[in-house]
């Protein structure tokens, strides 16, 4: 594959852009692969990439029922941070955040990673204590965060209203190297590299059942025929329960729609990401100038991959308290994605009751930031058959053993 470079852009400018190759191939599927990954979202593609890069396994197919990156990976609000409370979470999210720092160079694809800083507002005494505690936990974990006062909040984000009518801003948890990245580019960059390593990314191939014999994985049936494999990894976010059912096991999670919206584009007004968890909404400004606004999850389980009017109203009403200027903005579009939530708001990276069948799911409302670290850890588990240090705390066994990784404060409503 030709490298993307400034030289290549100049060269192609003189050739009427006729020399660009497809970013990834659409090959004819083989009968059998060493590893089949179900789901070409960020986590599935990153798993494939690190299987090849870190473990030399390239006889891999990634099966996608729609188009790659068309699930939550292409629908999220792109917040990247690693200031979680518990040690196992801090380890995997920080691994991920640090991989993001050089991922554009690694993938030779501009992911527009923008470590502009993320703040989580403390608007109640409870949040003040919670975030101070997280800042201290992060210091012990080697994750760089700080608790900042309202003056620093205003300094970093001048459009904020510190004395909201219901909840004044009392401080914030600030992670200066948190930020955003272009979500589709993350999927596209991984896909291009996987295809370059000879892996097959097969779109429009929905897995409809799992083939197993004597408790051991054999392959999958797709809308386009059977595909056999030695190892299967299920990475389908909001559809994890449905895939688990095909494999004959159950997962401790629920699927709900999570929504977001963007405004019309305006001139730059805000160069940090702000999350206001008490009023429930968060906002950043995209490079195009749109205000990217995240709302909440539906209060009931569902598979509706779209937005709804009451969410716009609730989210914007809440955010107007914190950012009065948005009351004058027109909202441009809104959408939803189906996320999978575990009881402790931590992911599952685990073996399953089926031999050689692995699962990566449960990232809930906040798995975009985890894509590189999760792919790294999942690839290690699939390649070696055992979860390594990053993944092992997130096994399914924790629900049997009562060993929860409670991130309801860090991840329950925020992203």
Ligand X SMILES: Cc1cc2nc3c(=O)[nH]c(=O)nc-3n(C[C@H](O)[C@H](O)[C@H](O)COP(=O)(O)OP(=O)(O)OC[C@H]3O[C@@H](n4cnc5c(N)ncnc54)[C@H](O)[C@@H]3O)c2cc1C
List residues binding ligand X (CB under 6 A).
Answer: 38-44, 63-66, 70-73, 75-79, 206-207, 235-237, 239, 243, 258-260, 294, 337, 339, 363, 365-369, 415
**CA–CA separation, 38 and 65 (whole Å):** 9
- CB contact set of 33 (below 8 Å; sequence gap of 6+): 59, 60, 61, 200, 227, 228, 229, 230
Smallest distance, ligand X to C-beta of residue 391, A: 14
Judged by CB, which is closer to ligand X: 9, or 332? 332
**CA–CA separation, 25 and 376 (whole Å):** 23
Judged by CB, which is closer to ligand X: 170, or 351? 351
**CA–CA separation, 21 and 301 (whole Å):** 42
Judged by CB, which is closer to ligand X: 42, or 393? 42
Smallest distance, ligand X to C-beta of residue 67, A: 8
Smallest distance, ligand X to C-beta of residue 311, A: 10
Judged by CB, which is closer to ligand X: 75, or 398? 75
Smallest distance, ligand X to C-beta of residue 294, A: 5
DSSP code, position 352: -
Residue least distant from ligand X (Cβ): 41
Q: Smallest Cα–Cα separation from 107: which of 55, 39, 48?
A: 48
Smallest distance, ligand X to C-beta of residue 79, A: 3
Judged by CB, which is closer to ligand X: 161, or 209? 209
Smallest distance, ligand X to C-beta of residue 369, A: 4
Q: Smallest Cα–Cα separation from 367: which of 217, 236, 262, 260?
A: 236
Smallest distance, ligand X to C-beta of residue 84, A: 11
Judged by CB, which is closer to ligand X: 170, or 336? 336
Q: Smallest Cα–Cα separation from 32: which of 247, 206, 232?
A: 232
Hey, what's the torsion of the CAs at 240, 243, 248, 250, to 10 degrees? 10
Burial of residue 201 (CB within 10 Å: 0-12, 13-18, 19+) is buried
Helices (H) and strands (E) in the chain, counts: 12, 18
CB 152 within 8 A of CB 162: no
SS3 of residue 56 by DSSP: coil
C-alpha distance across the termini of the chain, in Å: 35
Task: Tell the residue number behind the tokens 């584009």, with chain if given.
Answer: 265
Smallest distance, ligand X to C-beta of residue 95, A: 14
CB 252 within 8 A of CB 399: yes
Judged by CB, which is closer to ligand X: 78, or 86? 78
Judged by CB, which is closer to ligand X: 7, or 300? 300
Judged by CB, which is closer to ligand X: 79, or 381? 79
**CA–CA separation, 262 and 329 (whole Å):** 10
Smallest distance, ligand X to C-beta of residue 370, A: 6
């Amino acid at each position: 594959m030709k490298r993307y470079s400034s030289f290549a852009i100049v060269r192609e400018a003189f050739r009427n852009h006729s020399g660009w190759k497809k970013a990834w191939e659409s090959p004819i599927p083989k009968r059998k692969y060493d590893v089949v990954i179900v789901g070409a979202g960020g986590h599935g593609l990153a798993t494939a990439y690190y299987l090849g890069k870190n473990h030399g396994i390239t006889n891999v197919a990634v099966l996608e029922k729609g188009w790659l990156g068309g699930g939550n990976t292409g629908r999220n609000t792109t917040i990247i941070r690693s200031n979680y409370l518990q040690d196992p979470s801090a380890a995997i999210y920080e691994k991920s955040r640090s991989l993001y720092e050089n991922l554009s160079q690694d993938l030779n694809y501009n992911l527009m990673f923008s470590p502009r800083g993320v703040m989580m507002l403390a608007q109640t005494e409870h949040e003040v204590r919670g975030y101070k505690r997280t800042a201290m936990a992060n210091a012990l974990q080697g994750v760089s965060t700080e608790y900042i006062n309202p003056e620093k909040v205003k300094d970093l984000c001048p459009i904020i209203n510190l004395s909201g009518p219901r909840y004044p801003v009392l401080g914030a948890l600030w992670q200066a190297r948190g930020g955003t990245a272009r979500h589709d580019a993350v999927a596209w960059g991984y896909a291009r590299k996987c295809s370059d390593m000879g892996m097959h990314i097969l779109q429009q191939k929905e897995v409809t059942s799992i083939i197993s014999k004597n408790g051991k994985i054999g392959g999958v049936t797709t809308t386009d025929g059977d595909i056999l494999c030695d190892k299967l990894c299920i990475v389908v976010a909001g559809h994890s329960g449905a895939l688990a059912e095909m494999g004959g096991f159950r997962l401790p999670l629920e699927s709900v729609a999570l929504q977001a919206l963007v405004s019309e584009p305006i001139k730059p007004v805000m160069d940090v990401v702000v999350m206001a968890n008490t009023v429930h909404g968060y906002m950043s400004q995209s490079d195009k100038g749109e205000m990217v606004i995240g709302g909440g999850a539906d209060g009931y389980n569902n598979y509706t991959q779209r937005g709804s009017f009451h969410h716009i109203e609730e989210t914007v009403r809440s955010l107007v308290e914190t950012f009065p200027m948005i009351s004058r903005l027109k909202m441009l579009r809104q959408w939803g994605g189906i996320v999978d939530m575990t009881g402790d708001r931590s992911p599952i990276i685990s073996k399953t009751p089926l031999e050689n069948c692995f699962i990566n799911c449960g990232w809930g409302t906040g798995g975009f930031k985890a894509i590189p670290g999760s792919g790294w850890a999942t690839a290690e588990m699939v390649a070696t058959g055992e979860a390594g240090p990053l993944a092992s705390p997130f096994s399914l066994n924790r629900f049997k053993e009562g060993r929860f990784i409670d991130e309801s404060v860090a991840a329950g409503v925020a992203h």
